[in-house]
């Protein structure tokens, strides 16, 4: 296989031997890839700092045709997000982005729009001025991720009976979105949905800029609960970072 160039975000690394590491990378060109970075002095000199978590790199890969790991032959740092390390809510949110991409996307299934969205989200989270926008920005990322993977929650019609739902009283992860007053009692996993949170979900789904608005604490907290429950249901387990996002 000829060498392939890609732009990659480092999602996870583990030591493979004393001189090599396995890295999970989210690439714009190929989607998620797992690579072996062989080491020795070369690893320390050219790879080590490039393979820090959440570093954006230009990489060169030798792709494996089937199964196995790709071989990473070059990695150069393009961008880091140093602002993340100074504020825990932003850092946990960024780790959550990496966890969802690492655990939920398929290898060799590119989603360039989701790649760009992840980078944009990390840039916002790393901005010291993000403040209370951390939570809504993360929700916007989750909604884009869900859409790209085919799991957009239904927000304008009841997810159970598909009747128009102007003021849905509840959200059901198993139904796949909001549920109307008639269907809600039959959805055992329903959780109450306030009109303000419903409106926030609609706006954050529709617009890439709606997270910039000053969402109040109650809505931010409810958004976190709704999205966290939905993601947990779809993944089949609670993301490790999810408990650290409460209150963001
Ligand atoms: Zn219904």
82-100 pLDDT, tens digit each: 999 899 999 999 999 999 9
Distance (angstroms) between ligand 1 centre and the Cα of 104 equals: 29
Confidence of residue 19 (pLDDT cuts 50, 70, 90): confident
Q: How does DSSP classify residue 181? A: T
- Expressed in angstroms and rounded, the spacing between residue 140 Cα and the centre of ligand 1 is 26
Please give the distance, rounded to the nearest whole angstrom, from the Cα atom of residue 159 to the centre of ligand 1.
7
Cα 184 to ligand 1 centre (Å): 7
What pLDDT shows up at residue 156? Answer: 96
CA 202–ligand 1 middle distance (angstroms) = 18
The contacts of residue 237 (CB under 8 Å, 6+ apart) are none
| 163 CA to centre of ligand 1 in angstroms | 6
Q: What is the side-by-side order of every strand in the sheet holding 170-172?
A: 177-179, 170-172, 191-192
The fraction of the chain above a pLDDT of 90, given in percent, is 81
Report how far ligand 1's centroid is from the alpha carbon of 192 (Å): 14
Whole-number Å distance between alpha carbons of 118 and 24: 15
**pLDDT score of 45:** 57
Using the mean position of ligand 1's atoms as its centre, give its distance from the Cα of residue 154 in Å. 11
**164-184 average pLDDT score:** 96
3-state secondary structure at position 42 = helix
pLDDT at 205 exceeding the cut of 80: yes
């Amino acid at each position: 296989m000829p060498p392939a160039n890609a732009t990659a975000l480092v999602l996870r690394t583990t030591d493979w031997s004393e001189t090599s590491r396995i890295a999970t990378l989210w690439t714009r060109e190929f989607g998620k890839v797992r690579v072996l970075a062989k080491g020795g002095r070369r690893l320390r000199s050219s790879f080590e700092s490039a393979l820090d978590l959440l570093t954006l790199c230009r990489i060169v890969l030798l792709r494996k045709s089937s199964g196995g790991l790709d071989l990473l032959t070059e990695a150069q740092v393009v961008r880091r997000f140093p602002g993340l390390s100074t504020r825990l809510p932003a850092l946990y949110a960024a780790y959550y982005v990496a966890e969802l991409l690492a655990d939920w996307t398929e290898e060799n299934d590119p989603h360039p729009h989701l790649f760009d969205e992840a980078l944009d989200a990390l840039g916002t989270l790393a901005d010291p001025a993000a403040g209370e926008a951390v939570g809504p920005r993360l929700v916007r990322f989750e909604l884009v991720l869900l859409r790209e993977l085919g799991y957009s929650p239904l927000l304008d019609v009841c997810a159970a009976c598909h009747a128009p739902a102007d003021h849905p009283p509840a959200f059901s992860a198993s139904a796949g979105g909001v549920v109307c007053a008639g269907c809600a009692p039959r959805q055992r996993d329903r959780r109450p949905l306030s009109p303000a949170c419903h409106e926030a979900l609609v706006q954050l789904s529709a617009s890439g800029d709606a997270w910039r608005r000053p969402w109040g604490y109650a809505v931010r907290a409810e958004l976190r609960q709704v999205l966290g429950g939905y993601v947990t249901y779809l993944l089949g387990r609670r993301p490790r970072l999810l408990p650290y996002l409460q209150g963001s």
